[in-house]
Amino acid sequence: MENEIDGWIAQLSQCKQLAEPDVKRLCDMGAGELLLAPGCMRCTRGANIWCTQSQTREILMVESNVQPVRCPVTVCGDIHGQFHDLSELFRIGGNSPDTNYLFMGDYVDRGYYSVETVTLLVALKLRYRDRVTILRGNHESRQITQVYGFYDECLRKYGNANVWRYFTDLFDYLPLTALIENQIFCLHGGLSPSIDTLDHVRGIDRVQEVPHEGPMCDLLWSDPDDRCGWGISPRGAGYTFGQDISEAFNHNNGLTLVARAHQLIMEGYNWSQDRNVVTIFSAPNYCYRCGNQAAIMEMDEKLSYSFLQFDPAPRVGEPLVTRRVPDYFL
């Protein structure tokens, strides 16, 4: 199995899409015997049990809603189908499995290569499951991908929606958040008025389409804000939250930092709320026109962190999109 996955990774690394049957096999690839950890989706009453069901989704299901991650690790924000910029990220950050990676969602939509991008990341997760963590973003959603490009790209490249279905079904199993060394809480969007503790996150039933409201929605959609307290999000989903909220959440859960993605940052990363929150954005020149830098956050064994900023990779001939996607930056 590993040799086959290695072949897929080599092909995808050249920005060459897999054949539809291979994508189906990737999304349903046998995982062998797996140990379920407390807090995982198949665990009952916190017990450790053994599972032999053999699908890629099982690899994701054994991971908790608050997936533990060890250092060293490199934390990445939005990718949005910008495959050549993902390749640049690996060039400066190191390839798998030499570098451990935590991706905080939004792998698809906007860019021209959502298919190749998400297929490569899933293949890397399957091949190096303990060294690659992939979280769910608000764009890992059936509804959003039908509007912002991934659905149309699958139709254009495969002639049908099967590959879109394989991946959007798999998205339901992606972990919602990660916890680096019990200190740094990582997620795509932000905090929720329905969530006070990490145990509240662990109790969410995540195997579903992203809801329009509620705690799971908030984790993928919310944003930090300069105003205190909770506010109505201009995005139409999730909330805005102030420094008082992030300080209380970090204090109550023994955290030093909330790391998140979800927002375009011109310098690639941005500290906010008295350094209780950091936003990381890893898609340079977003939508091929925003002119921003991208960044990744490297953390060593001592929990010291540094940021690597990078510019877009040289663009090769980009295909024409089949429809203009809305300009609103989700």
What residues are labeled active site?
139
Q: Given the structure tokens 């944003």, which residue do they identify? A: 223
Within 8 A by CB and 6+ apart from 236, the residues are none
Residue 281 three-state SS:
strand
Q: In 3D, which of 202, 116, 205, 209 has the Cα closest to residue 170?
A: 209
Look at phi and psi of residue 193 and say left if phi exceeds 0, alpha if psi is from -120 to 50, else beta: alpha
Vertex 100 angle, CA 94 and 102, to 5°: 110
| Contact (CB, 8 A) for 312 and 285 | yes
Q: In 3D, which of 324, 270, 325 has the Cα closest to residue 297?
A: 270
| Contact (CB, 8 A) for 32 and 56 | no
Phi, psi torsion values for 179, nearest 5 degrees: -130, 110
CB contact burial 119-155 (16+ within 10 A = b; e otherwise): bbbbbbbbbbbebbbbbbbbbbbbebbebbbbbbbbe
Phi, psi torsion values for 66, nearest 5 degrees: -120, 85
Is the dihedral angle over the CA atoms 115, 116, 118, 123 positive or is it negative?
positive
Residue 179 three-state SS:
strand
DSSP 268: S
